[in-house]
Structure 1
Amino acid sequence: MEKISRRAVLAGAATATIALALPVSTARAKPAREKEKSLAATTDCGELGSMQACATARQVQDVSGIRYEITNSGSEPASYSVWYVDVNGGPESGRRTISVDAGETAVGYFYGDLGHCFTLHVCSAAEGEEDQCLILGPVCAEYPSEW
């Protein structure tokens, strides 16, 4: 009869213990390819007159990063007031005034609570047009990423 080493017995026992300890749901895990599709960042875009804007949220270390792009496709420079509202009850950001030259795009960032969702508000800052606003979202951070 062949003698089995102590190391082989311990390795077999460890393997059996791990296999028995795995939850049943692990056996039904989705393939990595499907998981990658669900990791896409949440983005929302819209238009208001000659202004196009997009908001994207991603997890950045221990916060949610809200990236916005504002494009002025008009023939004159324009200014916009931009801020976010935390739809999970967190604080509203401060308002920023962004100036965008004709035909140009401005990019900026806000940072909010991790795991929260946000609406981005982009309003015309021109006198008499403050009530013209575009509300994007909610956008939610879904995974860690770099921009």
Structure 2
Amino acid sequence: MTKMKKQGCPMTSIEAVRAWREKHLNIAMRKPEPRRTTAATRDHLAHAQACMRGAAALLGAGLPLDIFAPTLRAALAAVPPELRDAVGLDLEVMKTLLAPVLALIPEEGKDTGEKMTDEDAQDAGQFLYSVACGEIIFVPGGGPS
């Protein structure tokens, strides 16, 4: 902020600073604007967390997720991508939601001993979350012919 002020940036309001930055700073030098968490996004996150806890309780009681799965999937899908790490996924619930995908991984392929890069792990996690919440529809056998 001090550098920008010396360069002529007005310090009268946040809007004035944003407008000045947009006009004067090199695109390569700008940091992205922080994402704002709204009450609605916090509500979506809280709802997904509650649904995940409820699904875990159902499985813990020996009950199936069949009837509750659409509600859970919709709640997970409503969480914005930048907040999905905060949902708190239950392993057994995720195994249930991802059963068709997990069934395709042969036992001998589940632990290859190879280390995943952090980027690969992030990509895999995003893919599995997308499958679990129904954003990616997985059809065993490749879908309709």
Same fold judged by TM-score > 0.5?
Answer: no
**Superposition TM-score, scaled by structure 2 size:** 0.22
**Superposition TM-score, scaled by structure 1 size:** 0.22
Higher alpha-carbon Rg = 1
- More helix by percentage: 2
